[in-house]
Amino acid sequence: MQRWLFVLIAVLSFVSTTCAADAVVTIDSPMPPPNWALLERQLLRAQADACAEFFEKYFDERGYLLCVERWGGDDGPDDAIENCNGWPILHAMGASDNVLRMYKKAWEGHLRQYTAAKTTEVPFARDGMYYKEFPVMFDWQHNGEGISVFNLQGLSDPEDIDFGQRVRRFAGFYMNEDPGAPNYDPKHKVIRSMINGSRGPLMRKATGLDWAGDPIEVENRFGLGHGERNYEEMVAHFKNYNDVVGDHPLNLISTTLALNAYMLTGEEKYRTWLLDYVDAWLQRMDQNGGVIPSNIGLDGTIGGAADGKWYGGTYGWGFTVVVPQTGKLADRNRQYWGFVGFMNAYLLTGDDRYLQAWRKQADVINAQKKIINGQAMYPRMYGDEGWYSYVPQPYEYNAREIYFLSMDPEDRRRAPQTGWFDFLDGKDPDYPENALRADFEILRRKIEGMRDDTTTPDTRLADDPMQFNPARVRTLLQLTQGGWLVERRGAALFARLRYFDPIARRAGLPEDVAALVTKMTDDMTVVTLVNINQQDSRTVTVQAGGYGEHQFSSVERADETTNVDAPTFTVKLAPGAGETLTLHMQRHVNRPTMSFPWNR
């Protein structure tokens, strides 16, 4: 009796709230379940089940990762929670609520675990690797990796009180709202060091110890990700990672903290800070001939903390180092990771200048090509002698992302080929089924590797289990939501569509519902929705954009057009029904929000 009362209340609530606000499209045309639909639903279930097995093996009842806790760029706190990468998106697409419970437990556990974990030699982590639930100070290649799971929690659980407090606190570390974390100079619009965090910026040269962490036994115990054979090689790997004072494009990844705070609270100060900071970098690119500098001095000048060299600094355009175990040179230019900040600004504004700056950079670099042994070669690095590190491929970093955001045919010509883009162009109709089947094979190998893993907690580093993480969400995100997965950079969700279950009051496709985005242009999206359940109807709310930043104008079907003029509409799917809808839309016209449709 209680169960039926709950269902009745939910239905009445749906009718009184969602339907009153949304246009409603009813689909009752029979559609035998396509293979892609069956594969999508099964892949969601299979990955969720595998995540449960993974969690049981590698985490304890507190949510602690069963590993040797370390600080450093080889292995550290960021790697611990990276083991749950993809889990927030998996749940937000419609996977079991158990996935949400597990990654929240892992997040909470790793906060306690690495707040308690302390270094003995690395100076700034001796009182805990985390402070105020955030890394004490590190670079944003690693900070970004470690914040990836948290930054996407709002897709499924935006009203969690702890989440809301942390969103505000973390953004505040970069807006001078915490006197103990003076990371940002609002006058010169610089984050004052490439190494920064809840204890503020590192305002001295970094050492190999700062990066490598405390001494540790390596031989016959650990297999390090960089291939070092002993602790001495770990320190040597980072021995030249010294020049960190001043701003670096990696710091642009921190803008996702302000974006999250804006989408959660609607407070204008977060939007203003984000755009001011990104605009400062936009101006620097223009002043530097179209190429983003890799060092900005404390006075705001290009190269000001690197002897005037715009290409200077750790992870800069001229950052080539020796690999200690081989003696070979390695180029480690990470400026292109900063494009995440420009993606965030574009999400807020739809302003093409945030993309045009990176198109221009690619043009400037590719104009430096040389013909070597009859072949065109293109540079990747810049040092005291000019451009170097020539390779056969044109400079194309972020070109796919630019096309995904702009949907400009000219950007399509610039972007390297992908099977998904070809499918959207109508060239490979078998891509969805083939890609989903390939994900099943990858999942099988991951489960097999996990079960064969003989490491023990005292011979396991935090990043060791990552190779077995079952959540492979790229294909599902592309096919169901028309989304682009930005990996390892602490990014928000970038997607053309999102789905919500108005009956269960949760994010994701309702049980038995599958979706396939088959075409996207600047102002139109084509999607097929199908209910594979032959006995029960289903209801799904469709949202324009990952955070409602877009607006539907109308929904076109074979026999009618429904006016919408809203960021969401609702679809009622009869048992076994499905249909292809053409969604006409305006992009980037709404304030993005984490709020679920029925809470707005």
CATH number of the CATH domain containing 586: 2.60.40.1180
Sorting pLDDT into bands at 50, 70 and 90, what band is 21? low
* 149 occurs within a structural domain: no
* 585 occurs within a structural domain: yes
Distance CA 594, CA 227 (A): 41
What does the buried/exposed string (b/e) look like for 503-538 if buried means 16 or more CB atoms within 10 Å of the residue's CB? beebbbbbbbbbbbbbebeeeebbbbbbbbbeeebb
- Report the percent of the chain where pLDDT is more than 70: 96
Report, as an integer, the average pLDDT of 83-97.
98
Residue 17 belongs to domain spanning: 2-30+496-599
* 586 occurs within a structural domain: yes
- Per-residue model confidence (pLDDT) at position 225: 82
* 128 occurs within a structural domain: no
What are 162-216's pLDDT values in tens digits? 999 999 999 999 999 999 999 999 999 999 999 999 999 999 999 999 999 999 9
Q: Mind giving me the DSSP string for 280-307?
A: HHHHHHHHTTTS--S-B-TTS-BTTTTT
- Per-residue model confidence (pLDDT) at position 169: 98
Report, as an integer, the average pLDDT of 334-347.
98
Q: Mind giving me the DSSP string for 416-483?
A: PP-HHHHHHTTS-TTHHHHHHHHHHHHHHHHHHHHHH----GGG-BTTGGGGG-----HHHHHHHH-E
Rounded to an integer, what is the distance from CA 588 to the centroid of its chain?
A: 19
Q: Sort residue 488 into left (φ over 0), alpha (ψ -120 to 50) or beta.
A: left
| Residue among 587, 577, 586, 537 nearest 557 (CA) | 577
Q: Mind giving me the DSSP string for 66-116?
A: SSB---SSSS-HHHHHHTTTTHHHHHHHT--HHHHHHHHHHHHHHHHHHHH
What are 299-331's pLDDT values in tens digits? 999 999 999 999 999 999 999 999 999 999 999
Distance CA 159, CA 181 (A): 26
pLDDT score of 18 more than 70: no
* 396 occurs within a structural domain: no
* 20 occurs within a structural domain: yes
pLDDT score of 4 more than 90: no
pTM for the whole thing? 0.95
* 304 occurs within a structural domain: no
Distance CA 179, CA 199 (A): 9
Report, as an integer, the average pLDDT of 333-351.
98
Q: Return the sign of the alpha-carbon dihedral for residues 201, 206, 211, 215.
A: negative
E strands present in 165-244: 184-185, 190-191
Report, as an integer, the average pLDDT of 147-167.
98
| Residue among 551, 564, 561 nearest 591 (CA) | 551
Rounded to an integer, what is the distance from CA 568 to the centroid of its chain?
A: 24
Sorting pLDDT into bands at 50, 70 and 90, what band is 22? confident
- Please tell me the total count of domains within the chain: 1
Distance CA 237, CA 69 (A): 20
What are 116-134's pLDDT values in tens digits? 999 999 999 999 999 999 9
pLDDT score of 516 more than 90: yes
Q: Are 393 and 417 in contact (CB under 8 A)?
A: no
* 576 occurs within a structural domain: yes
Q: Are 474 and 483 in contact (CB under 8 A)?
A: no
The greatest distance separating any two alpha carbons of the chain, rounded to the nearest whole angstrom, comes to 80
pLDDT score of 1 more than 80: no
Q: Are 516 and 528 in contact (CB under 8 A)?
A: yes
Distance CA 102, CA 86 (A): 12
Which residues, including other chains, have CB under 8 Å from residue 488's CB and lie 6 or more apart?
82, 85, 144, 145, 148
- Per-residue model confidence (pLDDT) at position 11: 43
**Considering only 16-20, 246-250, 430-434, which range has the smallest mean pLDDT?**
16-20
What are 52-69's pLDDT values in tens digits? 999 999 999 999 999 999
User: What are the CA-CA distances from residue 548 to residues 354, 432, 487, 522, 541 (Å)?
Assistant: 20, 26, 22, 16, 12
Report, as an integer, the average pLDDT of 333-347.
98
Output the CA angle 143-144-145, nearest 5 degrees.
90
- In single-letter form, the type of residue at position 239 comes to K
- Per-residue model confidence (pLDDT) at position 224: 85
Question: Comparing 188 with 21, which gets the higher pLDDT?
Answer: 188
Which residues, including other chains, have CB under 8 Å from residue 451's CB and lie 6 or more apart?
none
